[in-house]
Structures are given as C-alpha cells and as structure tokens.
Structure 1
Amino acid sequence: MNLMRWSARLTGAPWRATPPSGAGSDRAAPSGDAVVVPGPRDPTSPAGPVDTPEALDPTGVLDPHRPQDLREVLNRIPAPVAVTYGPLHQLGYANRAYRELFGERPTGLPACDALPELGTLGVLPLMDQVIRGGSPRSVKARCILGLTGNRYYNVSCVPLTRDPGRTGPGGAPVLSTQTSDDPTSGVLVFAAEVTDQVLAAARLRESERRHREAAVTLQRSLLPQKLDQPADLRVAATYQPGGAEAAVGGDWYDVIAIGGGRTALVIGDVMGRGLRAAAVMGQLRTAVRAYARLDLPPHKVMSLLDGLAMEIDANQIATCTYAVWDPQGRTLGYASAGHLPILLRCPDGTVLRSEEQNGPPLGTGGGVHHLSHTLRLLPGTTGVLYTDGLVERRDEDIDQGLDQLARTLTGAVGSPDVVCARLLRAMGVTSEHDDDVAVLVFQLPAEEESPEWRRALDSAGREV
C-alpha cells in the first residue's frame, strides 16, 4: 500500500521546522533521528519522485521543501500510528512505534483481526464514524492493559481520501490526508500517550478526596452528637454535606438548655469552604454555648459573636440565628445576623415567615445594629431553622426556594425527625447536592387550643 504526500497535521503532533543556520545556508540539519515535518511548499517548484532519495537532504534528514513518503514520516514518529483502508478497515500500514508497542501486525486483514487492541480501546466504532462522516473522531485517556504497567493514550482517527487513478501493491488504494471532495477511503489512527497526566490527575483527585474527608470528619465532630430534648419541646436536626465535587462548608446547629427551663436554638453558616470554614464554625459554636449561659438577650449574644468572629478571621463572615424558647410565656425570642427567616407552621397548616429586620452578618463589625424580636406560639406549632443550601439554587432566585419550602412545610406533619426528612426530600437534597445543608426542626407539644393563644399568635412580633 502506497502512502503518498504528507499534507495535513496529525492530531497531537506539533509542526517542527528546522531553524535557519545563518547566512550562506538555507537550513541547519538536525542531528540523529530528529524528525522534520514538512513545512509549506511552493506548488510551482519542481518536485522529485516521492519514493526516491531526492526527498532527503545530503544528511539523510527529511527535507521540508520536498514531497515526502508518508510512511517515512510516520515511521519516525515516536507515537503509535496505523493506517487502514476500506469499510472493513483493512490494515495498510503500522509504524515502528505501533509494532514495538503491540507486536507485528499482518497487513491486508480487517482491523477487528489485525488490530484487536483497537477494539479493546473502543476505537473501532469511531473509525466507522470517520468513514461515514469524513470528520475526525477521538477518545481520551483510554487504558491499554497487558503492557508494563497501565498506560493511557488519547487516540485520534483522521479521515484519508483516495488518490484518484493510483493503486499500490496488491491493488491497495493510495491514500492521502489532503482535503478532497472524494469520500473517505481510509483512517489514520494516531495515539498520544497521556499516562503521566492521567496519574497526576488521579493523585490530585485522591488528595482532594482525603482533604474533603478530613473536613467532613471535622465538621461532624464539631456538631452536637446528641441533641438536648427539653420536656416541653421536641427537636430534631440533620446535616447533609455537599456532594463529592463540593468542598465542605461551615454549616452548624445546636440546642442548648439554659436557666429557667428555657432552651436556646441555634443555626449558623460560615461563608467559604474547606477545613478553615469548619474550624471557624467550631469556634463560633463553642462561643455560642458559653454566651447562652450568660442569660443575655439574643441581640447581645449576636453582638458578642460579631466581635469574636472579627478576632478569629477578619476576612471570613458568618450568618446566624439565635433563638430562645421560654415555656413559661410560650415565647420565642430571637435575633438574626443576616440569616434566612424562621418558618413557623401553625396547627391549622398556616405557614408564617419571620420578616423582622435582620442585623448584619457576624464578622462585619455591625454588632450594635442587632435587634431582638419576640413571637408567641400556639401549642402544636412547628418551627424550622435552616441554612441556604436547603433553598438556594444556581438557576433560580432564592425567594423561589423559600416559597417552595413554605409550601412543603404546609403539608409536612409528623415528629420533628420526620419533618426534617420530608423537607430534604421535597427540596431535592441528595448525597450529590452541591452545597451543605443544616436543618433544625422544633415542635411544641399539641394542647387544647384556646382563643387566648390564637390572639397571642396574631399579636406576635414586638421588639425588645
């Protein structure tokens, strides 16, 4: 099979030209087995026979200004190359690198017999597509087993066209990579080894996996292992880290028993990702537990946390809601530092959203602007504290997520742990979710409702 003029660039093989050597000579000849891929040639200049020594310069190196035998060029390429022809992809030629990698291959046989390794790599279907469509096709990072260690290659299939009026030994067509209106008659298969890149990428993924596991372990260890269960309040919480592609964030929750039979409920979210965010979260959570026992109003706790957050890391901010349930007056006092509103489901299914003014996030120096608010709750009320991962989506406004959560909560009945599970499921939070999610659900025991309690709920929202 004759392979005629080289006139197209192989995928993955850069152009190489011999640099000028200075005055008095056209080009300097490279030494050894250096390969020179032909550069542009003046079509009006005389061309010697393709298969004669005139194609070489006096040093035996391919002359870039003369037409070359494609076999000679391919044989000098250190990457595996094979050329096939016909709809059955009969093997016409395999270069030295191909034979050294896979052994001698019989020419004239279909690729499924002569080149079984291409079938293993999933390249044969691509070759069919090249014959039908006349466009190059490629696959990336395919592993060749059975060699010394696993080796990975990017494999490209380039269409070849028939050189009209010429045939090679045994009637094989003369093929060329030149652009032509003739249908594709053959395929040039070129493999570029990418083993080092694949192994480096695998090491990077493994490093990222270990880093993420460490962050998740730290995150979970800093969250409460068991929630306090007050006699007059049922609580449940859940934390769902982001999927494998997402770095762990700084979401947290807590339930703290304080003096006078009261209970503090906390939800927070440190901006950022990774070990640093988890570490900052742990420090803030510890501080909240200490400040809660000072019997301070919620906005005072927020002010202290703001100052601490600035000391920990002036470049990292956090949002937080701190609420205190007082069973004596059935009141929920709370303050919010830039966090999402509390949702409350009344016994009749009505969902209320706290709309009072938020203070600035923690770590911004705006602690003096925080305010405390008070709500009076009916028996049987269910409340939900949550982080933005539950309602925020890249392709929609966060208000849409809040509305969807409110609709979901309307029908979410059952114990707090059942409500947690239903909210996660309805909001599409799975193990592959792209953000961390923390949810804290509290529920007042149902009692006989009275007009007094309903009037108390209607008058909710006074500031202190």
Structure 2
Amino acid sequence: MRWSARLTGATWRATPATADESVTVPGPRDPAAPCHDPRDAEQPYDLHDVLRRLPAPVALTHGPQHHLGYANQAYRELFGARTPGRPAAESLPELATLGVLPLLDQVLRSGRPRSVKSRCILGLGGNRYYNIACVPLGPDEHAAPAGVLVFATEVTDQVQSAGRLREAERRQREAAVTLQHSLLPQKLEQPDTLHVAATYQPGGADAAVGGDWYDVIGLGGGRTALVIGDVMGRGLRAAAVMGQLRTAVRAYARLDLPPHEVMTLLDGLAMEIDANQIATCTYAVWDPAATTLVYASAGHLPLLLRGPDGTVLRGEEQNGPPLGTGGAGHLSHTLRLLPGTTGVLYTDGLVERRDQDIDQGIDHLARTLTSPVGTPDTVCSRLLRALGVTAEHDDDVAVLVFQVPLDPEPTGV
C-alpha cells in the first residue's frame, strides 16, 4: 500500500515505489516573489519516506479492523517487527496493553483526534512513558476517515520530574504535619471545673498543612484559659509561626492580663515574627467562681454556645483586627454561663467551603449543635462528621469543645 501526503489543494495520487526516493521539502516562500504556476505545488510527497525519517514512533492503520498499513523504523525499534495487513488487535498488541485500541474506533466514528497521556511501556531498559495521539486520515476533511495515524511522543523525563516533585512535596508535607502535631498540646489539661476536648485534623494529601492550633491553660484561682488560633498560609512557615504564637500565649496567660491585653501583646509579637504573616485568635478565660467567660477575638470566627435548653448563641460580632496587622481596638467581652452550657471554638476549615458562603457553614454548625450533646469528645466527633470533614478534606481543622458541668466542683474560693 502507498500513502501520499499533499499540500492543500493538491490532487491525491500514488508515488512510484522506489526504494531510495528522495524527499524535497520546499523552503520558506518569499511573499514578494512572483507567483509560480499553481501546478508546482501539486508535487506529492511519499508519506512512508517522511514518516521513516521521524524519530518518534508512528503507525498507520486503515479500515474498521484497523489493519496495519505501516509502522516506521522508530516504532519497530520500540516494539519490534510488525506484520502489515493484519488487524491492530493482532499486529499491534501493545496498543491494547496501552489502552489505545478503543481510541482507534472513536477516531473512525467521530473523525476527530483522540489522545492519552503518560502511558507506561515496560521492559525497555526501565519504564518509559509516552503521550499517544490518534489522528484521522482520509482524502477529505469532510469525509469519513479511511484510517488512523498513531503517533507517540516520549515524555519519560517529564513524568519522572513530576514524580520527583510529588515525592519532594510529600516529604515536605510529612515534615509539616509532624511539626504541626509536635507543636500542639500532647495532652490537654483537664480542669476540675470544666470539661474539655479538642481535635486537629490536617488537610488531605493534596492540601498543604496550615497553622491551626488550640490550647487549654490552667490559671490561678481555678480559672482556665481556652485558646483557638489560625495562622494564614500553608506549609512549614505557617506551622513554625503557629508554634511561636502558641508559646507566647502560654507565657502571656501567666501574667493574668485581661484577654484584650493578651491580644495586643500577641499582635506586636506577630509583627516581629513576620510582618507578612497574619493570624486570627480567640483567647477566653473561664472563671468558675463568677461563672463567667471573658474573651477577646482577633479577627477569629464567632464562639458558639449551646445553653442547657438547646438554644445556640453566637459570641459578640465585634472583633478586633487579626494579629500581625498592628491595629488597635481589641475588646474583652463577658458572658455568664449556666451549668450544662457547651461552648465550641473552631477554625475556618470546619465551616468554610468553596461553593458556599462561610456564614452558611456557621449556620450549619449551629444547627448541628442544637442536637442533644454528650461528652466534649463526642461533640468533637459529631461536628466533624456533620460538617463533612474527612481524611481528604482540603483544609486543616481545629476544634475545641468545653462544657460547664451540671454540678460544678467547689473551687475553694
């Protein structure tokens, strides 16, 4: 069989089957040069000879059974000798292995090219990867294809580079997750006058670790400080900044300052650590003697409180600016909590979704909290499940749940 390629407008015709026929490729045409006889452009090219010179593997098939018409030298060097005239299922078994045979049918039916990417070919001195394109062949672009040209492009270097990059990202993420977990409390303090539980879940394998954190700090007089925070950004840097802020909160808590003053100190420290890295934080102090929760928020999401009757309330909407912005205006708010009250502090990974407003997520969280509650550990698990947080979640999540006992222990003050 002879195949011919032609320039646009040229007449299709077969060329003599000479073994050493040369191919003349026209050079660039000078637009200012005089027009030649259009018949000069009708010189056909021997397609076999053109394809033979290509360094990439190429095969031609024809008919509904995709009988092999031609395989160039590069194809034969890659896969071995191939027998022309036989259906592709017999003569080109490698196409079946690579999942390309169905594409040949699709090309004949649709008349449109089809392709697959990064298909692995084994046993060629190591794995080699190819992108494979199947292009319709025919006498006219408006007619049904008479055959298919199969063209393979090696992409082994690109695939291996991408693999090395993924492996480096995996190692970096594992390091960030390890650092993140090491900086979080290994065991929460359990005050006599408050029941607490917390959970942290990093994002899925495709998500970089963030800077979410929580803490529970015992203070004098039976009081307890509760902290939730979120450093903006991802990766090792965010985790490292989170560790510094968490350490600073524990130090400032010992100064027995009002929550808004702790926020002001943290804001200045955050600017010193990294002027380009901001964070949000809520710092609250539970006083069992006064049965009050005094808290301040630096741009963080609202605290949710479930009363013993199932009513859910949000904390004050008036937040101070995030940490690291140098802004003033942090305020302390005081709430009186009844026995049996459950409070939830959380980061945006729990309630923020790409396809909805964050207020919708907070509303969903509030509705979930109206259900009967169990222990703080149970509430943590229920909230993660209800909000759809799984191992493949695309963001970090930190949740801190606290409950005022129905019969608080005496504080001795």
Q: Considering the TM-score relative to the shorter chain, is it more than 0.5?
A: yes
Cα separation, 1, equivalents of 2:129 and 2:290? 70
Corresponding residue number in structure 2 for 1:422 = 382
Corresponding residue number in structure 2 for 1:140 = 117
Corresponding residue number in structure 2 for 1:440 = 400
Corresponding residue number in structure 1 for 2:74 = 97
Corresponding residue number in structure 1 for 2:162 = 201
Corresponding residue number in structure 2 for 1:3 = 3
Cα separation, 1, equivalents of 2:248 and 2:255? 11
Cα separation, 1, equivalents of 2:132 and 2:213? 48
Corresponding residue number in structure 1 for 2:34 = none
Cα separation, 2, equivalents of 1:149 and 1:304? 59
Matches within 5 A, 1:32-431: 50-51=15-16, 60-64=22-26, 66-161=43-138, 178-366=139-327, 368-431=328-391
Cα separation, 1, equivalents of 2:3 and 2:92? 19
Cα separation, 2, equivalents of 1:99 and 1:391? 57
Q: Retained in 2: the 8 A contact 1:265–1:323?
A: yes
Shift of 1:142: 0.2
Cα separation, 1, equivalents of 2:93 and 2:249? 66
Cα separation, 2, equivalents of 1:49 and 1:239? 72
Cα separation, 1, equivalents of 2:10 and 2:107? 29
Q: One-letter code of the match for 1:421? A: S
Cα separation, 2, equivalents of 1:49 and 1:327? 97
| CA distances 1:101-153 after superposition (whole Å, capped 9, x unpaired) | 11110111111110000000000000011111111100000001121110000
Q: One-letter code of the match for 1:79? A: A
Cα RMSD, aligned residues only: 1.8
Distance change >3 Å, CA 86–CA 412, structure 1 → 2? farther
Residue 296 of structure 1 aligns to a residue whose secondary structure is coil
TM-score scaled by structure 1? 0.82
Q: Which moved more, 1:181-190 or 1:417-426?
A: 181-190
Cα separation, 1, equivalents of 2:276 and 2:146? 63
Cα separation, 1, equivalents of 2:336 and 2:66? 80
Corresponding residue number in structure 1 for 2:32 = none
Shift of 1:87: 1.0
Shift of 1:435: 0.9
Residue 78 of structure 1 aligns to a residue whose secondary structure is coil
Corresponding residue number in structure 2 for 1:166 = none
Residue 301 of structure 1 aligns to a residue whose secondary structure is helix
Q: Which runs of 5 or more residues in structure 1 are unaligned? A: 8-40, 162-177, 449-464
Cα separation, 1, equivalents of 2:361 and 2:144? 55
Shift of 1:394: 1.4
Cα separation, 2, equivalents of 1:402 and 1:436? 16
Shift of 1:49: 7.3
Q: Retained in 2: the 8 A contact 1:356–1:373?
A: no
Shift of 1:425: 0.7
Residue 364 of structure 1 aligns to a residue whose secondary structure is coil
Cα separation, 2, equivalents of 1:414 and 1:179? 73
Distance change >3 Å, CA 430–CA 112, structure 1 → 2? same
Distance change >3 Å, CA 108–CA 42, structure 1 → 2? closer
Q: One-letter code of the match for 1:352? A: L
TM-score scaled by structure 2? 0.91
Q: Which runs of 5 or more residues in structure 2 are unaligned? A: 27-40, 409-413
Q: Retained in 1: the 8 A contact 2:4–2:14?
A: no
Cα separation, 2, equivalents of 1:102 and 1:369? 73
Residue 199 of structure 2 aligns to a residue whose secondary structure is strand
Cα separation, 1, equivalents of 2:293 and 2:72? 80
Residue 184 of structure 1 aligns to a residue whose secondary structure is coil
Shift of 1:232: 1.2
Shift of 1:81: 0.5
Cα separation, 2, equivalents of 1:207 and 1:283? 26
Q: Which moved more, 1:263-272 or 1:395-404?
A: 395-404
